[in-house]
Amino acid sequence: MKKTIKLLALLLLCSTLYAADDFSFYGDSLSSSRGKGKEHTSLKGNAGIISSSTKIKADNIEIYGSDNDFAECTGTVEVIDNEKGISLKAEKLLFNRKDDIIRVEGAAVMEDMKNKVIVKGNFLEYMGADETCIIQIGVRILKEDMVCRSEFARYNRGDDILELSGMPVVFWKNDEYRALRIIVDLDKDEITLEGKVTGSIFSESKEPEKEPSEEEKSE
């Protein structure tokens, strides 16, 4: 117990001395180099970074840069940003504190708690300055009564606008929309289709056709 307390105290001291902004970090083990141009801190096992609004947890975290501006997180990565209303789970994550950019490689799931949207993809880049998220490869975006699929998406959280391309399709309630490019206003529930438009719209009052019985099929 004493060893753990001493290690945490050392980490907190290091973060106070080296950080441009207030933040702390922890882990089961620590190695650090502060040579000019070679600044680097390695956290192994149950690692984490905590700032005023953001918490990052991972199996391993590498922190580097003269002002600790960059972090590479691997393993079971979890991010919670209470200020932005975002949570994120990933396999590998690169965090640029200086420019407020998060880049994820591998399967990722982001929950936008403010807009009640879930974003899934195999590459994700979130730019906090303009609240824009780029998602690529196997994109899935979920909201109440709506499922969106594509290979590329741009999600502007500030305007609540979603742009889909790369074989995009939107399932909204019982309706289906396909086009070369689809723009969804998530706030107003409006959909704009561009290029090779197809769709299926079903009346809510119309009951679905009854599936024929085996006897009727044989007749």
Tens-place pLDDT, residues 25-64: 888 998 877 667 677 889 999 999 898 888 999 999 999 8
Q: Is the pLDDT of residue 112 over 90?
A: yes
pLDDT at res. 135: 96
Q: From residue 17, how far is each of 8, 58, 82, 99 by CA, in Å? A: 14, 23, 25, 21
In eight-state DSSP terms, residue 19 is -
Retrieve residue 117's tokens.
């949207």
Mean pLDDT of 69-92: 92
pLDDT over 70 at 96, yes or no: yes
For domain 99-204, give its CATH number from 2.60.450.10, 1.10.357.10, 1.10.630.10, 1.10.1240.10: 2.60.450.10
Instruction: Inform me whether the pLDDT recorded for 203 exceeds 50.
Output: yes
pLDDT level of residue 204 (50, 70, 90 thresholds): low
Residue 152 tokens, joined: 């590329």
Look at residue 4 in the predicted model and tell me its pLDDT: 42
> Residue 102 corresponds to which tokens in the numbers above?
């998060």
Q: What are the boundaries of each domain within the chain? A: 1-91, 99-204
Rg (CA), the chain: 23
208 band by pLDDT with thresholds 50, 70 and 90? very low
Q: Is the pTM of this model over 0.85?
A: no
CA-CA-CA-CA torsion sign (135, 82, 172, 109)? positive
pLDDT at residue number 58: 95
Split at pLDDT 50, 70, 90, the class of 21 is: low
Q: What is the mean pLDDT of residues 62-87?
A: 89
pLDDT at 128: 86
| pLDDT reading at 13 higher than 70 | no
Give pLDDT, residue 64. 87
Does pLDDT of 118 surpass 60?
yes
Q: Work out the number of other CB atoms within 10 angstroms of the CB of residue 182.
A: 23
Q: What is the mean pLDDT of residues 129-147?
A: 93
Mean pLDDT over 122-151 rounds to: 94
Q: What pLDDT shows up at residue 191?
A: 93
pLDDT at 210: 46
Give the pLDDT confidence score for residue 141 in this predicted structure.
96
User: Average pLDDT over the chain, rounded to whole?
Assistant: 82
User: Rounded to an integer, what distance in angstroms lies between the CA atom of residue 218 and that of residue 173?
Assistant: 34
Residues written for the chain? 219
Q: Is residue 70 classed as helix, strand or coil in its secondary structure?
A: strand
- Which residue would you say has higher pLDDT here, 18 or 124? 124
